[in-house]
Amino acid sequence: MTSEPSGPARHIDHGRWLAQFAGRILVVCPRCAGRALVVLRPDLEAPRYFSQLMFMPRRLVCAACGAVGEWEARVRGTARVGVALGGTEDPFFRQPLWLQTRCVGHILWAYNEQHIDELAAYVGAVLRERDASPTMAMFARLPVWMKRADNRAEVLAGLGRLRALAERSAPDERSDAAHPRDGGPRIRGGLYFR
Confidence of residue 186 (pLDDT cuts 50, 70, 90): very low
Question: Is 136 domain-assigned?
Answer: yes
Q: CA–CA separation, 66 vs 78, rounded Å?
A: 35
Question: Is 182 domain-assigned?
Answer: no
Q: What is the pLDDT of residue 194?
A: 28
Q: CA–CA separation, 88 vs 31, rounded Å?
A: 18
Q: What is the pLDDT of residue 6?
A: 52
- Provide the residue range defining the domain that includes 41: 10-176
Query: Of 53-62, 109-118, 123-132, 161-170, where does mean pLDDT reach its minimum?
Result: 123-132
Q: Please tell me the pTM assigned to this model.
A: 0.84
Q: CA–CA separation, 28 vs 176, rounded Å?
A: 12
What is the tens place of the pLDDT at every residue in 35-91? 999 999 888 887 787 778 888 899 999 999 999 999 998 888 888 888 989 999 999
Question: Is 35 domain-assigned?
Answer: yes
Q: CA–CA separation, 10 vs 161, rounded Å?
A: 23
Q: CA–CA separation, 132 vs 14, rounded Å?
A: 5
Number of domains in the chain: 1
Query: Of 30-44, 66-80, 134-148, 165-179, where does mean pLDDT reach its minimum?
Result: 134-148
Question: Is 188 domain-assigned?
Answer: no
Q: CA–CA separation, 51 vs 98, rounded Å?
A: 23
Indicate the DSSP class of residue 103: E
Query: In a 10 Å sphere around its CB, with 0-12 CB exposed, 13-18 middle and 19+ buried, how is residue 143 labelled?
Result: middle
Q: What is the mean pLDDT of the chain?
A: 85
